[in-house]
Structure 1
């Protein structure tokens, strides 16, 4: 545990020294939400958006954006680089086992995803957007959403050895998740068949449960099952396939 904590702190310092990672995964989604909160029209409920405001409609999309950038692109690249440089192999000769490093990286990515997600959920409340009483449910769903993307990212890190290829595949998958989360085309305007397909993907399922929680609607079983399956399946494949070298 002491080794994992020390490695966690070290990985956090290394991450903060990379401004591109911080800007793209943390500052951009928060800045986008802040700008929308400053626009009065974006705070008003819209019938075409199911009674939600523009801010509430795009909250899940911004959360998916941050989570996918971290879990699907950055994490597989970091782990792949450590493996390619032989750092994981050399670490096995020290008291700190490579599993400690992997645990530290997973914990760091999950922590940042949750912190950014909570900021995105709570900041609009300052402008009267959203309901404070729904924040607890949204936070619980946020944990499930972040964990599911972490599982998919772990799977990519396990099955793709080359860090550049892993980052490229992760970026492509992230873009697909953004589409299903409604980044370029609002989910409320999806035709029925596309909405059904979307809810079986991590991005679509995440947007579905977070959007329903924001609107005070019952959470559908299908997207919850999808997130659970992606979480269990991703971590299972990662555990079976991961190689230290």
Structure 2
């Protein structure tokens, strides 16, 4: 195995030693989808939604929410904690550089978030007959861009937060408005024009719409792709500018 692979395996084992983070990152999204699906009105077609059911809209929202959980409650907190405890500083004396740790964390988060997405899609399909994405390449493109944008934001939080606890607090504060505009409390299709416009400019609002478009068989709109790419470049650039290894 390569050094990156071994470090990723090690980081994954350490990740699973944090039961609360594991629960919210891996188990909570599918459970939340089951809770939504248990509401009878969510399983009935709604003419105001173009004949779709509310549960159909919530599958991409829950998928996007899982990215926010990984980025803001896992990646940022763990990396800030490593810096706070001097793990990254001590790694400078070993052949494994801190940048390798960053790569391992990103690889682990990507793999686990993809598994969570697959579970959410499977639960939606098997339990509530939610159709799978008709345009799979477009769905993966929207998912990858949303993941990049959220991981960049998570790294920015890790760069600015002085401690692991403060990273967790900042991530929690950011989590709620981000998932609100992704449609967790009010689906994007039910938002008024002002909220919908703001949602279009947020990383997960653009991400959810891209996933919904791909599920319906369409390619994402250029606006939404550009928004996610812009968040990735800006947040990623700021994270690189202000990140401290010790």
Fold agreement, TM-score > 0.5: yes
Count of equivalent residues: 245
Separation in structure 2 between the aligned mates of residue 156 and residue 32 of structure 1, nearest angstrom: 26
Q: Aligned-residue CA RMSD in angstroms?
A: 2.0
Structure 1 residues 50 and 218, CA gap change in structure 2 (3 angstroms): farther
Q: Tell me if structure 2 keeps the 8 A contact 1:69–1:171.
A: no
Q: Tell me if structure 1 keeps the 8 A contact 2:135–2:219.
A: no
1:230 lines up with 2:242 in the alignment? no
Q: 1:213 maps to which residue?
A: 214
Q: 2:6 maps to which residue?
A: 6
Instruction: Give the CA deviation at 1:141.
Output: 1.6
Instruction: Give the CA deviation at 1:115.
Output: 1.6
Separation in structure 1 between the aligned mates of residue 161 and residue 115 of structure 2, nearest angstrom: 28
Runs of at least 5 residues in structure 1 that lack an aligned partner in the other structure: none
Q: Tell me if structure 2 keeps the 8 A contact 1:114–1:146.
A: no
Structure 1 residues 198 and 57, CA gap change in structure 2 (3 angstroms): same
Separation in structure 2 between the aligned mates of residue 79 and residue 217 of structure 1, nearest angstrom: 37
Structure 1 residues 60 and 37, CA gap change in structure 2 (3 angstroms): same
1:118 lines up with 2:108 in the alignment? no
Q: Tell me if structure 2 keeps the 8 A contact 1:110–1:150.
A: no
Q: 1:171 maps to which residue?
A: 172
Q: Which moved more, 1:209-218 or 1:60-69?
A: 209-218
Separation in structure 1 between the aligned mates of residue 12 and residue 217 of structure 2, nearest angstrom: 36
Instruction: Give the CA deviation at 1:97.
Output: 0.9
Structure 1 residues 107 and 240, CA gap change in structure 2 (3 angstroms): same
Q: Tell me if structure 1 keeps the 8 A contact 2:133–2:217.
A: no
Q: 2:160 maps to which residue?
A: 159
Instruction: Give the CA deviation at 1:198.
Output: 1.0
Q: Tell me if structure 1 keeps the 8 A contact 2:135–2:218.
A: no
Separation in structure 2 between the aligned mates of residue 119 and residue 138 of structure 1, nearest angstrom: 15
TM-score (ref. length: structure 1): 0.91
Runs of at least 5 residues in structure 2 that lack an aligned partner in the other structure: none
Which residues of 2 match residues 28-67 of structure 1 at below 5 A?
Answer: 28-37=28-37, 42-67=42-67
Q: 2:21 maps to which residue?
A: 21
Separation in structure 1 between the aligned mates of residue 133 and residue 179 of structure 2, nearest angstrom: 26
Separation in structure 2 between the aligned mates of residue 218 and residue 77 of structure 1, nearest angstrom: 34
Structure 1 residues 92 and 186, CA gap change in structure 2 (3 angstroms): same
